Each structure stands twice: as structure tokens, then as C-alpha cells.
Amino acid sequence: MLDIVTRHDLPTLLLIDDDMVSREVMATVLTMSGYTVHTAVDGRAALDLLAAGDCTPGVILMDAQMPGLSGIQLIKQLRARTHARLYAISASDAPHEVIDAVDGFLLKPFAPEALTKMVDDHLPKSQPPLRPGLDPGETIVSRETLAQLRKIMPDTAVRQIYEAIVADLALRINSLKTAIARKDDAEIRRIGHAIKGGCSMAGALQAARIGGVIESGGIEVMAAAVNHLDNSSAVLEDLRSATANLKRMLEGEIHV
């Protein structure tokens, strides 16, 4: 069995949308990004879910225009029942009173990255203290993401996804070495952002976490813990180790 566990550092999400396709696509994207997602088909179902105690969300995504309880009336009901951050989504312009009453708004259709960025931008930005070397118990791949992928594609395709991530990480590591040598802070952060985004979407949580550390710390974090014997950044070594862990997982646990 893979030694992978649920992420507990991300907020639980409640997604309210009467359109089945939109609801399922967004739920899949967020689940693959590491979130725990609950869904409701309309406003009344969402309130029932909250009242039953089946869901304690940190973030709520709600369609701004649904049959029945919706719009500003639903927002007021949700605000009265939860302290979750509240975002509206809609296929057309929402009324000004709705936009003013929520914490953010997205117009459908939108790229998956826009949805995850909107949620991520409101998460705490502090990073845990950096320690050279990885925690042996750290999650490598999200169990939920792997299960979701296996529902929609054969194991051969799942393996190809993670093989592509391993290959991409090798390229990113080389690019980071060049950027570090040039002391190019903007490029280091850009590469870290790309690693975090791509690995998060596939549930490669260990590598995604390190990508987030690189993005937030830039050249400063890359130079903070250098092995002076070979002038190698500890963070870069951690990224190499995370890549090797992912590769070993592929070789030993995902059978095709």
C-alpha cells in the first residue's frame, strides 16, 4: 500500500451549484488539488448540510444564480451559520449586491488555475520552518487524488501522468540550478510556483510543498541552508529527494 494520507492543512470546501457538470468538474479539480470537498445541489441542500453538522467548511463556493434559495438571500443565510470565506461563481454578471456581499467572484467559464488561485490566495501564507532533509512520514501522493484518477482512467494512464511529473521535476531542478547561479529571484519564484501548481493538481504533495517553499522564499530560502562542501542548496536537495521518492513509488506501488 502507498504510504499516503489525507491533507489536513487545507480548508474543507462546500460547493453549491445546481448544474451537475459544473459541480462535478469543480469538485474534481479541487479534490485533485488536495482539498476535502462537499457538494450541494442548491441553497436549501447546503443549509441542511450545515445544520446536520455533516460539513464544517472553511470556504464556500456558491453559484450566484440558482433556482430557489439563491443570491443575496442565500448569502445572508450562510453568513449567519458559518464563518467560512464565501465566493460567488456565475455564468453571467452577478448583481452588484451579491458581489459586494461575498469575498470574491469568478465568471464561468474559468480555468481551473483561477479557481484554485482564488482559494489559495486567501490561505495563510506562512511556511513551516525549513529543515534540511525530508520528514520520512510526509505524504508523497494524495490518496484521494490517486483514487480519483483511477476512476477516470486506466492505471497505465495514471502511471504516465506521474512519470511526466518526475521528468518535469528533473528539468525544473536544472532550471533552478541555473537561476540560483544567476541569483535570479523572480525566476526562482516562477519555477517554484510552476512546481507547486503542477504537482498539486496531480496530488504530488511532497514535491508541491517544496515548490511552495521555493515560491515564497525565492533566492533567500535557496541560499539559507547551503552545504558548503558542494555548494548545494538544501532546498534543492529536498526537491531531488522528493522526486526520487515519487519515482520509487511509481516503481514499487503503481503496477500496470
The 10s digit of each residue's pLDDT in 145-172 is 888 888 888 888 888 888 999 999 999 9
Structure-model confidence comparison of residues 122 and 32, the more confident one? 32
DSSP string, 67-101: SSS-HHHHHHHHHHH---EEEEEESSPPPHHHHHH
* Phi-psi sector, 105: left (phi>0), alpha (psi -120 to 50), beta: beta
> Cα separation of 95 and 103, whole Å?
14
| Residue 235 pLDDT | 84
Domain positions in the chain are 13-120, 143-253
Task: Report yes or no: 112 and 87 within 8 Å, Cβ to Cβ.
Answer: no
Residue 10: pLDDT band with limits 50, 70, 90: low
Positive/negative CA dihedral, 201, 203, 207, 208: positive
> Cα separation of 156 and 13, whole Å?
31
Q: How many CB atoms lie within 10 A of CB 49?
A: 17
Q: Could you confirm whether domain 13-120 is CATH 3.90.79.10? A: no
| Residue 5 pLDDT | 36
What is the rounded average pLDDT of the residues 24-40? Answer: 83
> Cα separation of 24 and 19, whole Å?
9
Which grid cell is 10? 487545507
Report the greatest alpha carbon distance in the chain.
Answer: 67
Task: Give yes or no for residue 128 having a pLDDT over 70.
Answer: no
What is the rounded average pLDDT of the residues 7-29? Answer: 79
Task: Give yes or no for residue 252 having a pLDDT over 70.
Answer: no
Q: Where are the beta strands (DSSP E) in 156-248?
A: 226-227, 232-233
pLDDT digit string, tens, across residues 214-242: 888 877 777 654 443 334 578 888 899 99
| 70-109 core/surface letters (b: 16 or more CB in 10 A; e: else) | bbeebbebbeeebebbbbbbbeeebeeebeebbebbbeee
pLDDT digit string, tens, across residues 49-83: 888 877 788 889 998 888 888 788 899 999 888 88
The pTM is what?
0.48
For residue 136, give the amino acid letter.
P
Superfamily of domain 143-253: HPT domain (1.20.120.160)
Structure-model confidence comparison of residues 93 and 205, the more confident one? 205
Residue 99: pLDDT band with limits 50, 70, 90: confident
Task: Give yes or no for residue 6 having a pLDDT over 60.
Answer: no
What is the rounded average pLDDT of the residues 178-197? Answer: 88
| Residue 207 pLDDT | 92
Task: Report yes or no: 177 and 236 within 8 Å, Cβ to Cβ.
Answer: yes
For the chain, the helix, strand and coil percentages under 3-state DSSP, each to the nearest 5: 55, 10, 35
Residues whose CB is less than 8 angstroms from the CB of residue 158 and which lie 6 or more positions away in sequence, other chains included: 146, 149, 150, 254
Mean pLDDT of the chain: 79
Which grid cell is 22? 459544473
Q: How far is CA 46 from the centre of its chain?
A: 23
Residue 44: pLDDT band with limits 50, 70, 90: very high
